[in-house]
Amino acid sequence: METLPRKTILVVDDEPRLTSLINSYLAQEGFKGVVARNGREALEMAEKHQPDLVVLDIMMPVMDGFEFMQEFRKKFTTPVIMLTAKVQEDDQLKGFELGADDYVIKPFRPRTLMARIHAVLHRAGHLLPVAEVLQTSDIVLDRENRVVKVKDRYVDLTPSEFDLLAGLMSAPGKVFSRLELLDIVQGVRYAGYERTIDLHIKNLRAKIEDDSHEPFYIETVYGAGYRFRREG
pLDDT tens profile 30-86: 889 999 999 999 999 999 999 999 999 999 999 999 999 999 999 998 999 998 776
For residue 191, the model assigns a pLDDT of: 45
pLDDT reported for residue 3: 40
Whether residue 228 has pLDDT greater than 70: yes
CA distances from 80 to 11, 65, 68, 96, 189 (A): 10, 11, 11, 10, 17
pLDDT at 190: 47
3-state secondary structure 125-184: CCCCCCCCEEECCCEEEECCCCEEEECCEECCCCHHHHHHHHHHHCCCCCCECHHHHHHH
pLDDT in tens, 82-140: 987 766 667 778 888 888 988 888 888 888 898 889 888 887 765 444 447 888 879 99
Residues 149-194 pLDDT 10s: 999 899 999 888 998 998 898 888 888 888 778 777 765 344 455 6
Which residues are CB-contacts of 177 (< 8 A; sequence separation ≥ 6)? 224, 225
CATH number among 1.10.10.10, 3.30.70.260, 3.40.50.300, 3.30.930.10, domain 133-228 = 1.10.10.10
Q: Given the DSSP bridges, would you call strands 80-84 and 53-57 parallel, antiparallel or unpaired?
A: parallel
How much is the pTM? 0.65
pLDDT over 90 (residue 25): no
The count of residues in the chain is: 232
pLDDT at 129: 45
Give residue 163's pLDDT. 86
Domains in the chain: boundaries: 8-123, 133-228
Picking from 190, 208, 90, 195, the residue whose alpha carbon sits closest to that of residue 141 is: 208
* CATH value of 8-123 in 3.40.50.300, 3.40.640.10, 3.40.50.2300, 3.30.420.10: 3.40.50.2300
Q: How many CB atoms lie within 10 A of CB 17?
A: 8
- Whether 14 has a pLDDT exceeding 90, the answer reads yes
Same fold? 8-123, 133-228: no
